[in-house]
Amino acid sequence: MYVCSCFGITEQQVKQHADGGACTPRQIASACKAGTDCGSCVRRIQAILGRGACPRRELADRGQPALAELEDAA
Ligand code: FES
């Protein structure tokens, strides 16, 4: 299923980039451009990253503010 229809990036591709070390939507964007056109997929990318694709999720699990990521992406 496509996450970013502007660039045809699938959820699987986002997860692969996350495995490769991209932990924020911005890093995903620099890896594959997803989120750099209309921006409507950024929240979906954040959701994928928040589902455990990225090691940083542990921070959120420990109760640290995950919303910092939103500000980072803005
Ligand atoms: S759907 Fe990803 S930038 Fe438009």
Report the domain count for the chain: 1
Q: Find the 62 Cα to ligand 1 centroid distance in Å.
A: 31
CATH number at residue 26: 1.10.10.1100
Rg, Å, the chain Cα set: 11
Domain with 9 in it = 2-73
Q: Which atom, in ligand 1's list, is nearest to the CA of 2? A: 1
DSSP 54: S
Q: Structure pTM?
A: 0.71
For residue 29, what pLDDT is reported?
96
Report phi then psi at 35, rounded to 5: 95, 0
Q: Which residues pair with 10 in a beta bridge?
A: 2
In tens, the pLDDT along 29-57 reads 999 999 999 999 999 999 999 876 665 55
Q: Which atom, in ligand 1's list, is nearest to the CA of 37? A: 3
Going by CA atoms, what residue is nearest to atom 2 of ligand 1? 4
Pocket-forming residues, ligand 1, beta carbon under 6 Å: 4-6, 34-41
